[in-house]
């Protein structure tokens, strides 16, 4: 669904930071995990993901490194930084606030 993808795109930084809080990862693995967790209802596009990696890294919220070739090819991995963890937690607070406000506005109360 196009509207759903557009709506979720604004939360992509937080989604990626959340995956990287769990463990260091690379692009394809994050796309695969996102699809699995959503039971196929949402598919993260690798092109969007790499733009997100670049933006997060430029802010110092993630770092990249090359994995070993023994893992089936040389992959670029990403890990979250302490600053990224702080941003992730702040984004969760902002999300909960926005969700509460939107729920209130849409309920008509």
pLDDT tens, residue by residue, 76-106:
999 999 999 999 999 999 999 999 999 999 9
Q: Is 71 left (phi over 0), alpha (psi -120 to 50) or beta?
A: alpha
Does the pLDDT value for residue 38 go beyond 80? Answer: yes
Its pTM stands at: 0.85
102 phi and psi angles, rounded to 5 deg: -60, -45
Whether residue 75 is predicted with pLDDT greater than 80 in this model: the reply is: yes
Encode pLDDT of 2-18 as tens digits: 556 666 777 899 999 99
| Residues belonging to the chain | 109
**pLDDT band per the 50, 70, 90 thresholds, residue 67:** confident
Question: Would you put residue 72 in left (φ > 0), alpha (ψ -120 to 50) or beta?
Answer: left
What confidence category does residue 46 fall into, taking pLDDT thresholds of 50, 70 and 90?
Answer: confident
> Has residue 61 got a pLDDT over 90?
yes
In this predicted structure, the answer to whether residue 74 has a pLDDT above a threshold of 60 is yes
């Amino acid at each position: 669904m196009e509207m759903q993808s557009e709506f979720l795109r604004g939360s992509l930084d937080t989604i990626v930071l959340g995956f990287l809080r769990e463990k260091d990862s690379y692009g394809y693995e994050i796309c695969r995990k996102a699809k699995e967790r959503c039971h196929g209802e949402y598919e993260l596009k690798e092109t969007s993901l790499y733009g997100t990696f670049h933006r997060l890294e430029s802010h110092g919220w993630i770092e990249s490194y090359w994995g070993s070739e023994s893992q089936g090819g040389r992959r670029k991995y990403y890990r979250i930084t302490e600053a990224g963890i702080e941003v992730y937690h702040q984004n969760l607070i902002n999300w909960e606030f926005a969700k509460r406000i939107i729920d209130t506005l849409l309920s008509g109360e």
